[in-house]
């Protein structure tokens, strides 16, 4: 969405995330909240964000987190099970 990839919040390693007091308002997504991401002992303030109560138009990002370009996201890609015929 808007050039950002959103990841399911349950896929986060929470030990790297702390709540930030920062908020921002998007007219069509709603109020975003931010996380400081800390890796290798270096905090990266407001490097991730989520919309706890997105608007109807942005309902697909509920319970998902996006990252600034300064963050490299690593992991394995989920695959959807194939339908059996």
Global pTM value = 0.76
Does residue 1 have a pLDDT over 90? no
Report the distance separating Cα 4 and Cα 17, nearest Å: 19
Q: Which residues is 44 bridged to in the sheet?
A: 37
pLDDT digits (tens, 9 = 90+) for 13-60: 899 999 999 999 988 888 999 999 998 888 999 999 999 999 888 888
Please tell me what DSSP assigns to residue 52.
Answer: S
Please report the domains of the chain, with CATH numbers, ordered by start residue: 6-67 (2.170.150.40)
Residue 50 three-state SS: strand
């Amino acid at each position: 969405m808007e050039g950002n990839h959103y990841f399911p919040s349950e896929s986060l390693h929470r030990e790297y995330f702390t709540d930030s007091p920062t908020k921002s308002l998007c007219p069509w997504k709603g109020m975003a909240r931010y996380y400081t991401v800390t890796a290798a002992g270096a905090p990266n303030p407001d490097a991730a964000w989520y919309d706890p109560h997105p608007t109807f138009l942005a309902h697909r990002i509920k319970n998902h987190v996006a990252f600034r370009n300064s963050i490299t996201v690593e992991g394995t890609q989920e695959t959807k099970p194939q339908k059996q015929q």
